[in-house]
Amino acid sequence: MCGIIGYIGFRDSKEVLLKGLKKIQYRGYDSMGLVIATEQGFKRIRSVGDVRQLRNKVAKQGSCSGSWGLGHSRWATHGAPSEENAHPHKAEHIYVVHNGIIENAEELKAWLKGPFLSETDSEVVAHCLLDSYKQKGSLKGAIFDTISKIKGEYAIAVMSEKYPNELFAFKKGPSLLVGLGEKEIFLSSDVQVFLPYTKKVVFLQDGEVAHVEGENEVSFYSEGGEKIEKRITALDAKAEETDKEGYPYYMLKEIYEQPDCVLNVIGEHIKKQDVEININKGSGILDQVIRQKRLNIVACGSSYYAALYGKYVIERFSRVFVEVDMASEFRYRSPILADQVPVLLISQSGETADTLAVMKMFQELSLPVLSLCNVMHSSLDRGASAHMYMLAGVEKGVASTKAFTSTLVTLFLLALALGKKNGQLGGSEKEQLINSLLSLPDQMEKILARTQEYVDAAHLVRALKSFIYLGRDIYYPLALEGALKMKELTYRHAAAYPAGEMKHGPLALVDENMAIVGLTPQSHVYKKTLGNLEEARSRKGKLILIGTEGDKVASSLSEYFLSIPACNEYLSSILCVLPLQLMAYHTACALGHNVDQPRNLAKSVTVE
Ligand code: F6R
């Protein structure tokens, strides 16, 4: 989950690298580093923390300008976040930045000489290259030799003091792109690094090697070492320059952007008051779902919880059977993949390693893959056979908010579209559901206007160390998401259960120190859920309930009541996410945490 950058060109590479690192630090912010070829020789600067700390350290070094260099943002896998473990790693004249995991690092360490100065798996690549270099006599030869020796997943960029104005890059797994500008060449894990300078990109495939020789020349090689021609893609993407626009954190800004995100999704898939799912290249995939009466959905984290919501709505409105899996589990069990049944892969970043591994499994069986991504041109977006987009705009906060909500709304519309196609959803019910959806952005605005309520709720729960989130049916996936937001941001223990499961075990946890966050809007499970919540209250749990405006029963049961406007239950569940996000956000702020960069996490999970 690290990010890598390389640059050769006419600009001050220090600035290109530092600006680029700021853009990719969502991939890891526990340490940063760069190496620059300056007139006074190579300068390697590394620091613990995010790009601000690195910039300070670079400033203290005095002059460190040069026209080529490498940069790295780290999310620790092997070895604690420390300066020694930060990249670039070095073996004599060779410098390496790496994203991924070298699975046979220990075996390689056992026969390479070292000295190894870090606890990382990445440093072994530098030593492996050095060893191969000594045998082969060229860095290019050493690269191919090293590729044949290392196992695992990696995107790697290399430079050497003996090879002025040259960079090498190779990958297996994580994304690695080459940006081709006018008299400048970029290597990066993410197009955003070079979009301000060029829109021309070459996407490296697994096993391929890029060899940059100066600011104008780059050659590509297959794994076998033959020179190959690569397609240059002209991106239609824009450089995403976002700032906090006066909000203290990106996350808060993103929470407040949600009504607009919902409007974007509505604009994409509703035409003339009817649902018309917009699937880029391959709309036949929905007909295939209808024919097979089955759909697989696979994702991780919040995207997985959104997928669970998808199961409830798709089965309810179209009677298509939906199987939902976590990508990290799916890839290692022996799933029974029915012939012709498509998979929907959901990923905000489109770079989640486990989800990409599942894409590969489906592709190997020639099964159709529909993606739902927020990042265009991401690995998932490029690899899928048919595409939908979250249309949430750049999401910077590590804890997902607006991309999650956009995903829920997209899945709601997918459910209606399938129900319409196979005749399971009647015209008038569909009309009512669409009308209800059209009111959602305004209802969200109302919820977002009540800041003080969430601050007060946060004040009430900030001292509590444990949270249980409860919901039934369509509210259960939202309970899972609420608990995840609370864990990520406050570092408090939070678990979610279907409310009816409490008496089968978790009720034993409840006492006066336990916060019980219950989702109880009016719905077909309202009374049952309230009953379960009463049971928790009888055991002295502190009830914070999210329910429908004017619900005196739920309000009188709770220590704190957060209300949402009345609407259809398949949409009120979406409204619930706003109080859940805001309560977690304000609790984390009250505890003094950095909400945008929770400890131990990264935005894009590019390792297993
Ligand atoms: C939680 C969160 C994560 C992601 C998960 C999958 O707030 O953001 O759980 O949802 O890492 O990421 P994507 O959707 O990029 O595949």
Task: Tell me which of 605, 606, 607 to substitute to probe ligand 1's pocket, judged by most ligand atoms within 8 Å of the beta carbon.
Answer: 605
CA of 182 to the centre of ligand 1 (A): 36
Is 576 among the residues known to form the active site? no
Residues 296 and 431 in one domain: yes
Residues 201 and 330 in one domain: no
**Amino acid 256: pLDDT:** 97
Is 261 among the residues known to form the active site? no
Calculate the alpha carbon distances from 496 to 153, 398, 478 in Å. 33, 21, 9
Residues 201 and 319 in one domain: no
Calculate the alpha carbon distances from 521 to 176, 252, 438, 441, 530 in Å. 46, 24, 19, 18, 10
Q: Which of 395, 411, 446 is the last residue of a domain?
A: 446
Find the angle CA(580)-CA(584)-CA(585) to the nearest 5 degrees.
Answer: 115
pLDDT digits (tens, 9 = 90+) for 193-214: 999 999 999 999 999 999 999 9
Query: What b-and-e string marks burial along 549-568, b requiring 16 or more CB atoms within 10 Å of the CB?
Result: eebeebbebbebbbbbbebb
- Does residue 249 have a pLDDT over 90? yes
Residues 318 and 360 in one domain: yes
Asked if residue 495 belongs to a domain, the reply is yes
**Amino acid 605: pLDDT:** 87
By DSSP bridging, strand 542-548 and strand 514-519 are parallel
Asked if residue 607 belongs to a domain, the reply is no
Residues 423 and 330 in one domain: yes
Residues 442 and 454 in one domain: no
Q: How far apart are CA 244 and CA 265, in angstroms?
A: 23
CA dihedral angle for residue 541, residue 544, residue 550, residue 556, rounded to 10 degrees = 30
Tell me the residue ranges of DSSP E strands in 49-176: 66-74, 89-91, 94-102, 152-160, 166-172
- Does residue 1 have a pLDDT over 90? no
Which atom of ligand 1 is closest in space to residue 605's alpha carbon?
11
Read off the pLDDT of each residue in 131-155 and give the average, rounded to a whole number. Answer: 96
Domain count, the chain: 3
pLDDT digits (tens, 9 = 90+) for 431-490: 999 999 999 999 999 999 999 999 999 999 999 999 999 999 999 999 999 999 999 999
Nearest C-alpha neighbor of 437 from the set 459, 410, 458: 410
Q: How far apart are CA 120 and CA 61, in angstroms?
A: 26
Name the pLDDT band for 252 (thresholds 50, 70, 90): very high
Q: Check: CB of residue 390 under 8 Å from CB of residue 348.
A: yes
Asked if residue 604 belongs to a domain, the reply is no
- Does residue 20 have a pLDDT over 90? yes
- Does residue 602 have a pLDDT over 90? no
Q: Check: CB of residue 439 under 8 Å from CB of residue 332.
A: no
Mean pLDDT for all residues in the chain: 95
pLDDT digits (tens, 9 = 90+) for 337-370: 888 999 999 999 999 999 999 999 999 999 999 9
pLDDT digits (tens, 9 = 90+) for 42-87: 999 999 999 999 999 999 887 788 989 999 999 988 899 999 999 9
CA of 474 to the centre of ligand 1 (A): 20
Q: Which of 178, 213, 234 is the last residue of a domain?
A: 234
Q: Atom 10, ligand 1: which residue's CA is nearest?
A: 302
**Amino acid 146: pLDDT:** 97
Ligand 1 neighbours, Cβ below 6 Å, are 300-303, 347-349, 352, 355, 399-400, 484, 488, 605
Which atom of ligand 1 is closest in space to residue 299's alpha carbon?
16
Asked if residue 94 belongs to a domain, the reply is yes
**Amino acid 52: pLDDT:** 93
Q: Atom 9, ligand 1: which residue's CA is nearest?
A: 301
Asked if residue 409 belongs to a domain, the reply is yes
Residues 131 and 254 in one domain: no
Asked if residue 240 belongs to a domain, the reply is no
Q: Check: CB of residue 355 under 8 Å from CB of residue 297.
A: no
By DSSP bridging, strand 542-548 and strand 560-564 are parallel
DSSP-based three-state secondary structure for 514: strand
CA of 254 to the centre of ligand 1 (A): 15
Read off the pLDDT of each residue in 252-277 and give the average, rounded to a whole number. Answer: 96
- Does residue 282 have a pLDDT over 80? no
pLDDT digits (tens, 9 = 90+) for 363-419: 999 999 999 999 998 999 999 999 999 999 999 999 999 999 999 999 999 999 999
Lowest mean pLDDT among 90-99, 120-129, 280-289: 280-289
Residues 360 and 218 in one domain: no
Q: Which domain holds residue 146?
A: 3-234
Read off the pLDDT of each residue in 161-182 and give the average, rounded to a whole number. Answer: 96
Task: Tell me which of 400, 406, 600 to substitute to probe ligand 1's pocket, judged by most ligand atoms within 8 Å of the beta carbon.
Answer: 400
Catalytic entry in 2, 128, 300, 373: 2
Read off the pLDDT of each residue in 256-269 and give the average, rounded to a whole number. Answer: 96
Percent over 70 (pLDDT), the chain:
100
- Does residue 566 have a pLDDT over 80? yes
**Amino acid 445: pLDDT:** 97
Residues 407 and 534 in one domain: no
More confident residue, 603 or 276: 276
Count of Cβ atoms closer than 10 Å to residue 238 Cβ: 10
Asked if residue 207 belongs to a domain, the reply is yes
- Does residue 148 have a pLDDT over 90? yes
More confident residue, 282 or 125: 125
Task: Tell me which of 303, 373, 604 to substitute to probe ligand 1's pocket, judged by most ligand atoms within 8 Å of the beta carbon.
Answer: 303
Q: How far apart are CA 311 and CA 532, in angstroms?
A: 23
pLDDT digits (tens, 9 = 90+) for 417-427: 999 999 999 98
**Amino acid 92: pLDDT:** 97
Give the CATH number for residue 189.
3.60.20.10
Task: Extract the tokens encoding 214.
Answer: 């100066």
CA of 302 to the centre of ligand 1 (A): 5
Residues 123 and 148 in one domain: yes
Q: Atom 4, ligand 1: which residue's CA is nearest?
A: 301
pLDDT digits (tens, 9 = 90+) for 480-508: 999 999 999 999 999 999 999 999 999 99
Task: Extract the tokens encoding 130.
Answer: 């050095």
Residues 512 and 387 in one domain: no
Which atom of ligand 1 is closest in space to residue 349's alpha carbon?
15
Evaluate the omega torsion of the peptide bond into residue 115 and state whether it is cis, within 30 degrees of 0.
Answer: yes
Q: How far apart are CA 229 and CA 33, in angstroms?
A: 32
Q: Check: CB of residue 46 under 8 Å from CB of residue 123.
A: no
Q: Which helix (H) or strand (E) holds 47?
A: strand 41-48
Asked if residue 99 belongs to a domain, the reply is yes
Q: Check: CB of residue 28 under 8 Å from CB of residue 72.
A: no
Q: Which of 189, 208, 234 is the last residue of a domain?
A: 234
Give the CATH number for residue 465.
3.40.50.10490
**Amino acid 354: pLDDT:** 96
What one-character DSSP code corresponds to residue 220?
E
Residues 79 and 184 in one domain: yes
CA of 168 to the centre of ligand 1 (A): 31
CA of 111 to the centre of ligand 1 (A): 38
Handedness of CA 341, 345, 351, 355 (dihedral sign): negative
